[in-house]
A and B are shown apart, each in its own frame.
Chain A
Amino acid sequence: MSRTQATKTGTAELQRLAAAGRWHVIKTVADAKAGHIGGPLSAMDLLVSLYFNELSVDPGNPQDPARDRFILSKGHCAIGLYSVLALRGYFPVEELATFDQGGSRLQGHPDMKLTPGVDSSSGSLGQGLSAGAGMAMAAKQLGTDFHTWVMLGDGELEEGMVWEAVHTARRFKLDNLTAVIDLNGLQQYGWPVSEDDDRFDRSNPWSGVDLNGVFTCFGWNVISIDGHDFDAIRDAFDRVREQRGSGKPTVILAKTIKGKGVSFTEGTYKWHNGIATPEQLASAAAELGQVFEGEAK
């Protein structure tokens, strides 16, 4: 599927796919009794947009040398990526049921040796942007014109290695590299503000820091969007393509809500990971199923 073909996926269809992806995350994690919820859900609209609206990839030929590269640097959100890869046709949706079980191709954190469509292993936070920079540098060196995308968490930005890569990307003029930051404002525990009032009330990892300004000062193009607005995401991707040739890497600062899409997981650090009870599963199915009728069983 070429880029121009990919952009034909309309907003309603993206919404349906994102709801299906969210359901697979909650359901798979509940069945496996392991995995993450909040981060995969906050990233879902961005992941779906990337795989159905932007990335030049071919699920039938996952190793195509000309494919765009995608690295999920926040590797704990693997189940979110697997759900989207399954929906995109890299492997059967039924295979999600093997997640985190012995002998599965779907490991707790992305494993490029096992899962079709995974371009880099990840799991120890902070390393993906360096790997992406290496891929983008190789592409320039070899005269190949694919684009490399790296998704990071905002908590993950605390790792120093990220900033080493931010410097390198500018130094090597990697306008074929884009970082997407999932700014959900929550990490696993973070900084509690008060003991009894922690819902919607943890201090944002980057509160007090002008992230837009920091990236601008490092010489990057910065695009700030609402990471749940499919039209805004589509526009941002268009602008990334326009920036090629500028010599500047681009960062998309995507404001999101941790646990987005399911009322009991939205906006709380407590669903960073968690196993839904049968009642919670039923309520998630009811909420998400309205968007993608019939699939949430």
Chain B
Amino acid sequence: MKAQRDVWGQTLVDLARTDSRVAVVDGDLATSTKADLFADAFPDRFFEIGIAEQNMVGVAFGLSTLGFRPWLSTFGVFLTHRALDPIRMLVSQTGAPVKIAASYSGLLNGSSGKTHQDIEDLAIMRAMPGMTVIAPADAIEAEAAIRWAADHDGPVYLRLARDAVSDIFSPGHAFTPGTVHVLREGNDALLVSTGVQSSRVMDAAALLAEEGIEARVVHVPCLKPVDEAALLSALSGPAPIFTIEEHSIIGGLGGLVSELVTSTTLGKTVTRLGLADAWSESAPNSYLLDKYGLSPARVAGQVRHALADD
């Protein structure tokens, strides 16, 4: 069990040994994002731009036109919000192979509070044509996604979490865009999640099982592209659908699943769990997860409650 950020820095160092296109463009947060591992190993391909996120994106784009495959390294919130316009025009519209490593994503940011929590990124990035949007479950899937993205000739948004979560996948796991993973079988409820929340949802499913409720857990690591047929098949059956994400309930995984379900004849309702259109606050992780209904116990509680209401 490792943190995704540790894996990110180390994997880029590994990749850069054999791939001279790998570069890192930093926004003065290398010690937090672990880009410092890369800076030490490959100072020539490490570009410190300072606290200037829009400029970082422009510089990464410029580097990419000369054959580099640069990784932007800073907190996700400063890229998806402050630098959204250059991401849109210079990266997304041109299809430049710039990789957006959104470190410290989601709600859990070491008590930094709402300024640093990125709870809208999936909605924003998912709406951007041509963007691949990945939210890996654990460090193993993060490493696989980084290796895949490094080879991909186009823009990638990679949502990474600061702290370690329990591993879902086994070492050697390979990432394929679009794949949907059924992590656990069950016929009473369908729990769909993405990113590191999937690990907590597995724990929630274990709690529900103790009460005799068997939930199928579906992990969606790639919000775009997504294998719609595979996702629909994972969502089929009589059990009610819950989406659970460390993100606003608007436009992220809940949006994706709702859109898919309403554009087919599946005829099921979707209950979206996540931040209900509200700003959060500074607090320890466990407090925030409980408050916003994302801790294993609170997820299990909401599912139990909803099933009892039916």
Contacts and interface: CB of A to CB of B under 8 A. Distances in A.
A141 interface: yes
Contacts of B50: 167-168, 171
B95 interface: yes
Contact of B55 (A135, A144, A161): A161
Nearest to B85: A124
Contacts of B95: 113
A219 to B, nearest CB: 15
B61 A138 contact: no
A40 to B, nearest CB: 20
A44 to B, nearest CB: 25
A288 interface: no
A151 interface: no
Nearest to A146: B66
B90 A127 contact: yes
B86 A127 contact: yes
B93 to A, nearest CB: 6
Contacts of A126: 54
A252 B217 CA distance: 61
A142 B64 CA distance: 12
B3 interface: no
Interface in A122-156: 122-124, 126-139, 141-142, 144
Query: Which among A130, A132, A160, A172 has the highest number of chain B CB atoms within 10 Å?
Result: A130
Contact of B61 (A131, A144, A168): A131
Contacts of A161: 52, 54-55, 58, 86
Q: Which of A138, A144, A165, A172 has the most CB of B within 10 A?
A: A138
Interface stretch (B41-49, B256-264, B272-280, B284-292): B41-49
Contacts of B54: 126-127, 130, 160-161, 164
A81 to B, nearest CB: 16
Given A130-B58, A132-B62, A164 B90 contact: no
B65 A135 contact: yes
A157 to B, nearest CB: 14
Output the residue of A120, A131, A135 with the most chain B CB within 10 A.
A131
B52 A133 contact: no
Given A141-B44, A161-B54, A167-B50, A130 B62 contact: yes
B58 A165 contact: yes
A121 B58 contact: no
B32 to A, nearest CB: 20
Q: How large is the interface on B (under 10, 10 to 19, 20 to 34, 35 or more residues)?
A: 20 to 34
B249 interface: no
A119 interface: yes
Contacts of B90: 120-121, 127, 131
B35 interface: no
Given A141-B44, A142-B66, A168-B52, A133 B89 contact: no
Interface in A54-113: 69, 111-113
B59 A130 contact: yes
Given A113-B94, A167-B52, A168-B49, A131 B58 contact: yes
A46 to B, nearest CB: 21
A133 B90 CA distance: 13
Nearest to B44: A141
A239 B95 CA distance: 36
Nearest to B47: A137
A132 B61 CA distance: 9
B59 A133 contact: yes
Contacts of A136: 62
A138 B62 contact: yes
Nearest to B94: A121
A39 to B, nearest CB: 18
Given A141-B44, A165-B58, A130 B65 contact: no
Interface in B63-119: 63-68, 85-86, 88-90, 93-95
Contact of B65 (A119, A128, A165, A172): A119
A129 B57 CA distance: 11
A123 B94 contact: no
Closest 4 CB pairs of A and B: A134-B62, A130-B58, A164-B55, A138-B66
Interface of B: 44-45, 47, 49-50, 52, 54-55, 57-68, 85-86, 88-90, 93-95
